[in-house]
A and B are shown apart, each in its own frame.
Chain A
Amino acid sequence: MEKQYQNVNHAVRKKDAMQLLLGKGVFVDDLAPRDALTVKLLRSPHANAIVESINAEIAKKVPGVVDVFTWEDVPQTRFAIAGQTYPEPSPYDRLILDRHVRYVGDPVAIIAAENEKAALKAMKLIRVKYQVLPAVLDYHTAKDNEILVHDEADWELLLPVGGDNRRNLVSVDEMGHGDVEAVMADCDVVIDRTYHTKACQQAMMETFRTCTQLDRYGRLHVISSTQIVFHVRRILSRALGIPKSRIRVEKPRIGGGFGAKQTAVCEVYPAFVTVKTGRPAKLIFTREECQTAGSPRHEMELRVRLGADRDGHIRALDMTVLSNTGAYGEHGSATVGLTREKTAPLYTGGLEAHRWRSEVVYTNLQPAGAYRGFGATQGIFAVESAVNELAEQLGIDPTVIREKNMVREGMQMPAYYDNMANACALDRCMSHCREMFGWEQRYPVRDMGNGKVRAAGVAMAMQGSCIPDIDMASATVKLSDDGTYNLIHGAADMGTGSDTILSQIAAECMGCSVEDVAVFSADTDVSPYDSGSYASSTTYVTGKAVVKACGELKEKICAVGAKMLSCPVEETEFVGSGVRHTVTGKEVSIADISYHAQCGNTVAVQATASHTSPVSPPPYMVGMAEIELDRETGHVTVLDYMAVVDCGLPINPALARAQAEGGIVQGIGMALYEDVNYNAAGRPIESSLMQYKIPTRLDMGTLRVEFEHSCEPTGPYGAKSVGEIVINTPGPAIAHAIYRATGVWHRELPILPEHIALAKVEE
């Protein structure tokens, strides 16, 4: 019988729900000062060019234009805008404005004006003479190309991840266990396939945006739609050349992040304007800028060799991954690592050996960044597709082949740093999903008699719950003066509901209701340090910091209670409603303690605790898709998508379900609709939501998500993560269903109707 809780594992409403649903002004552009200067960026029309000359004199004369800044005006210290813990594995390869522009969209000038109209008029009047250079547009030819994306002498890599700007390399890596070639040679069958995923856009509804002003102390006050307030402070300090003590960064509500806002894509520009002019400034990216100069998923080509016995035992996995980071190296080395780390361990039950080699290269295309799934999505599409290909080739039910090989609770995972799978319900996820979906009935292909066929596909997934020993979080819990609590932390609720989830954890610890916890985040001046909300870390890491802080606070409350009860603190216990004298049973209420603590008292009734984790316990998931495919047109309709998720104990089942459903629909978009193309000059074609088709509610069929609980001993109340894993199964599951319907494997996403209609059935 699972333990029953008062606050966690309950579908509590989000604390900001009614403010959001009633349209209150809680986002960056709602909070920007009315007199903020409008900041606009003139962007390069060329994929690779040197700014030979730039003349902004006429532009500056436009009424309302305050100033125009060019590469000659900005500090010459290179920095990275990836939101990662210092020292970052991303190269320091950027300037605020660089004379060398490296992709179509790279900023050339910053315009600050009293209004948007003046800024746009000025933009047209800036005269730039470019020396246009040949560009690296094909990432297959990037390594050791004679054209260098970064030929600057001050290119810098703080960590040894194998990068070399003289070779267009951001990182080179190799890992594995066992002797792959020996095991492979002993296998009955070896599958050798190459897969391709594109630079998909997060397409959060609120584009990148930041407003900046000088506060009452003359410090730079930045309000930004960001997942990483502390990293933004550090990045701005280096980029602008001003001390961190002169910068304050806060986030209001965020209109979606999905990893996009784990990179400081837009913050430096308005911050620079405010520093130069002393005036409030704001930069609101247009959707076109968001699509063409954002921070999308790394395009990857993944070669997978899978060795197995005839009976379906998967014995060896060999992966070679080429990742395209575009013009700047943000998150390049980190994302590619997850193509191995979040795939090979899934098959711990079978794998005797695995090997993984990767290269991340620069090209003159839009720089990539972090997007939900972060490399795991690309890796899982490849490996899960290869496992499906193997199963179909061997004539084994793809759910059965997985059961033969999957990781199970209690196994040690050689491909996951020898961690133990302490909480793993993947086997239960599979059997539960198979039953809920009706796999036996739906897996066989059904001809509907009208040119349409119905078919099904399956995939598994895992992710992590933090970056172990690096991600860290802190929480402060204070007793307020009516016996309620304040929870202050530095993680970033980007719509996920983490503020509410962390409040539920605090309420469970303190034995109060969630309403009695007032939550605040995130502000570098106020919040205790948190590395930020990414890597699926917030519930798992920040949640545990909340548990620790509450434990320390209880001791302090008991100390005050002991004085009031005139007894030694050892004879008291915290009981939620107050502090009880264990000998006499006498109790003082928490409200009375809070008032007592405000009068002649020296015990601070607040506690701050930090947490980090040496392990990153994986959540697990099984997803199944049923499609109807029109054989004539190639049109695919997703009928049903069902999934079962093991995220440990869901702290808030409604919010965990919303994460899962939202992630699945993003995954469906990646599988079927969201295409990324460039013209011959390197200009992105899908530059609007008219061209980049994210799913509408007519495009995703019916979703059903259920949970299989496990109990992660290192997580708060047994919780693991849920935010990222949920995007990983639709790609391989839908590609599998399309194979079932057509006999053709599509190894590149998205799979468009024309690809299906024009494809020939393989021999």
Chain B
Amino acid sequence: MEITVKLNGRSVSALIEPDLLLIDFLRAQGCLSVKRGCETANCGLCTVLMDDVPVLSCSVLAARAHGHSITTLEGLQTEAADFVGFIADQGAEQCGFCNPGFVMNTIALLRENPDPTDDEIRAYLAGNLCRCSGYEGQLRGIRNYLNSRKG
């Protein structure tokens, strides 16, 4: 079947198998930031934005994206660059494999709630697993970023 997706602002049409998952479609389109960590919708690594709402691309059929807008980290490089430096300053990126999903979901959080409390951050990002950092450095990084925005 053929689908047309607005991928990172650009219209993309492709012939796909009906059972193709969005994550595999996106990686085939060269969006290598999209990572698979679990196959059971537990890790959050494959998070992308569908019509600006975070979804797990491992749990969405590519066909479902037909006619929708999909944003991956490739499409948010400038917006992400603003804040990821604060994560880097904590060394909390560590292995980096979970970073894209974490960054995407953090961007979604801050669009929804520009001034979250620590508990709101933990709750929103609870589905984004990280095995390296212990999460505390990620929280410090987000907090420092928010403080820097307040001047």
Interface residues of A (CB under 8 A from B): 11, 13-14, 16-27, 30, 117, 202-207, 253-258, 286-288, 494-497, 652, 654-655, 657-658, 660-666, 688-690, 694, 696-698, 700, 702-703
Contact = CB atoms under 8 A, between A and B. Distances in A.
Q: Which of A21, A25, A253 has the most CB of B within 10 A?
A: A21
A756 B72 CA distance: 44
A697 B135 contact: yes
Nearest to A34: B28
B25 to A, nearest CB: 14
B90 interface: yes
A332 B95 CA distance: 27
**A27, A494, A661, A666 — most chain B CB neighbours (10 Å):** A661
Indicate the member of A207, A494, A662, A666 with the most B CB atoms within 10 Å.
A662
A661 B99 contact: no
A689 B138 CA distance: 21
B138 to A, nearest CB: 8
A93 B15 CA distance: 47
B99 A689 contact: no
A19 B39 CA distance: 25
A287 B103 contact: no
Contact of A20 (B41, B42, B81, B99): B99
Contact of B40 (A664, A666, A689): A689
Contacts of B74: 23
A19 B93 CA distance: 10
Contacts of A664: 134
A658 B92 CA distance: 6
Given A22-B81, A287-B38, 6 more contacts: A22-B77, A23-B32, A24-B32, A253-B96, A496-B94, A662-B134
Given A21-B84, A662-B132, A696-B127, A654 B89 contact: yes
Given A658-B137, A662-B133, A698-B122, A21 B94 contact: no
B106 to A, nearest CB: 11
Nearest to B123: A698
A247 to B, nearest CB: 26
The 5 closest A-B pairs by CB, nearest first: A23-B33, A495-B95, A20-B96, A255-B97, A661-B134
A688 B43 contact: no
A674 B41 CA distance: 18
A15 to B, nearest CB: 10
A30 B33 CA distance: 9
A205 B128 CA distance: 11
| Dominant secondary structure at the B interface | loop
A700 B135 contact: yes
Most buried by B among A24, A204, A205: A205
Contacts of B122: 697-698
Contacts of A665: 134-135
Given A14-B88, A696-B129, A697-B126, A690 B40 contact: yes
A704 to B, nearest CB: 8
A703 B118 CA distance: 13
Contacts of A697: 122, 125-126, 128, 130, 135, 138-139
Interface string B99-124: 11001000000000000000000110
A652 B96 contact: no
A5 to B, nearest CB: 18
B84 A22 contact: yes
Contacts of A663: 134
A495 B33 contact: no
A205 B134 contact: no
A203 B74 CA distance: 26
Nearest to A21: B84
B22 interface: no
Contacts of A497: 91, 94
B17 to A, nearest CB: 8
A703 B96 contact: no
B7 interface: no
Contacts of B62: none
A14 B39 CA distance: 29
A142 B127 CA distance: 41
Given A205-B97, A494-B95, A661-B137, A21 B131 contact: no
A495 B94 contact: yes
Task: Point out which of B32, B34, B138 has the most chain A C-beta atoms below 10 A from its C-beta.
Answer: B32
A317 to B, nearest CB: 31
8 contacts: A17-B93, A21-B80, A23-B100, A205-B98, A254-B95, A662-B131, A697-B126, A702-B136
Nearest to A16: B96
Nearest to B20: A117
Interface string B135-151: 11111000000000000
B103 A23 contact: yes
Contacts of A494: 95
A11 B84 contact: no
B95 A21 contact: no
A298 B136 CA distance: 28
B49 interface: no
B88 to A, nearest CB: 4
B56 interface: no
Contacts of A206: 35, 37, 95, 97
B91 A652 contact: yes
Contact of B131 (A26, A204, A688, A698): A204
Given A23-B74, A205-B45, A255-B95, A694 B39 contact: no
B55 to A, nearest CB: 17
A23, A258, A655 — which one has the most chain B CB atoms within 10 A of its CB?
A23
A204 B95 contact: yes
